[in-house]
Structure 1
Amino acid sequence: MFKLSEIQKPIANELAIFEDKFKESMRSSVPLLDRITHYIVKRKGKQMRPMFVFFSAGLCGSINEATHRGAALVELLHTATLVHDDVVDNANVRRGFFSVNALWKNKIAVLVGDFLLAKGLSLSIRNHDFNLLEIVTHAVEQMSEGELLQIEKARRMDIEEAVYFEVIRQKTASLIASCCACGAASGGAEESTVELMRQFGENVGIAFQIKDDLFDFGIDDVGKPLGNDIKEKKITLPLIYALQQVSKSEKRHIINLVKNHSEDAKKVHEVIAFVKANGGMEYAASKMLTYQQEAFDILTRFPVNDYRNGLEQLVRYTTERNK
Structure 2
Amino acid sequence: MSRLDEIKKPIEKELDVFEEKFKSSMKSSVPLLDRITHYIVKRKGKQIRPMFVFFSASLCGTIDEATHRGAALVELLHTATLVHDDVVDNSYERRGFFSVNALWKNKVAVLVGDFLLAKGMQLSLANDDFGLLKIVNEAVQQMSEGELLQMEKARKLDINENIYYEVIRQKTASLIASCCAVGAASVNKDAVVIEKMRSFGEKVGMAFQIKDDLFDFGTDDVGKPLGIDIKEKKITLPLIYALSKSGKTEKHHIINLVKNHNENSAKVEEVISFVRNSGGLAYAEMQMHRFQDEAFEILGSFPESEARTGLEQLVRFTTERKK
Q: Considering the TM-score relative to the shorter chain, is it more than 0.5? A: yes
Structure 1: distance between partners of 2:120 and 2:180? 17
After TM superposition, the structure 1 stretch with the greater mean CA deviation from structure 2, 189-198 or 171-180, is: 189-198
- Distance across 1 between alignment mates of 2:266 and 2:189: 53
Q: Does 1:60 align with 2:60?
A: yes
Report the Cα distance in structure 2 between the residues aligned to 1:31 and 1:219, rounded to whole angstroms.
Answer: 45
Counterpart residue number, 2:322: 322
TM-score by length of 2: 0.98
Conservation of the 8 A alpha-carbon contact between 2:84 and 2:110: yes
Aligned equivalents of 2:111, 2:192: Cα separation in 1: 38
Identical residues among aligned pairs (%): 74
Q: Match for residue 169 of structure 1?
A: 169
Q: d(CA) in 1 for partners of 2:211 and 2:152?
A: 23
Q: Indicate the SS of the match to 1:155.
A: helix
Contact persistence 1:225–1:269 (CA under 8 A): no
Q: Which amino acid aligns with 2:295?
A: A
Moved more, 156-165 or 172-181: 156-165
Paired amino acid for 1:11: I
Please state whether the residue corresponding to 2:156 is helix, strand or coil.
Answer: coil
Q: Structure 1: how far apart are the matches of 2:91 and 2:140?
A: 20
Give distance in 1, aligned partners of 2:264 and 2:6: 42
Is 1:93 the counterpart of 2:93? The answer is: yes
For this pair of structures, how many residues does the alignment match?
Answer: 322
Contact 1:59-1:308 at 8 Å conserved across structures: yes
**2:257 maps to what in 1?**
257
Q: Which residue of 2 aligns with 1:244?
A: 244
Shift of 1:158: 2.3
CA distance in 2: counterparts of 1:188 and 1:95, whole angstroms: 35
Structure 2: segments with no counterpart, 5+ residues: none
Work out the CA distance in 2 between the residues paired with 1:56 and 1:189.
13
Give the distance between the partners of 2:138 and 2:155, measured in 1 at CA: 26
RMSD of aligned Cα (Å): 1.3
Task: Supply the AA of the counterpart residue of 1:237.
Answer: L
Residue 34 of structure 1 corresponds to 34
Q: Which moved more, 1:117-126 or 1:212-221?
A: 212-221
Shift in CA distance, 199/26, structure 1 to aligned 2, threshold 3 Å: same
Deviation at 1:153, TM superposition (A): 1.2
Paired position in structure 1 for 2:43: 43
> What is the CA distance between 1:225 and its match in structure 2?
6.4
Moved over 3 A (4+): 219-225
Instruction: State the match for 1:122 in structure 2.
Output: 122
CA distance in structure 1 between the aligned counterparts of 2:235 and 2:62, rounded to whole angstroms: 41
Residues 178 and 198 in structure 2, CA contact (< 8 A), matched pair in contact too: yes
Contact 2:215 2:222 in 1 (8 A): no
Distance 1:193 1:240 in 2: 35
Following TM superposition, by how much is the alpha carbon of 1:219 offset from its aligned partner in structure 2, in angstroms?
3.8
Distance, in Å, in 1 between the alignment partners of 2:108 and 2:272 is 38
Q: How does 1:70-109 map to 2 (within 5 A)?
A: 70-109=70-109
Superposition pairs of residues 136-285 of structure 1, within 5 angstroms? 136-219=136-219, 221=221, 226-285=226-285
Q: Secondary structure at the match of 1:8?
A: helix
Report the CA distance shift for 1:175/1:225 in structure 2 as closer, same or farther (over 3 A).
closer
Unpaired segments ≥5 residues, structure 1 = none
Q: CA deviation at 1:187?
A: 1.2
Structure-2 separation of matches of 1:4 and 1:311: 12
Q: 1:222 to 1:210 in 2, by over 3 A?
A: closer
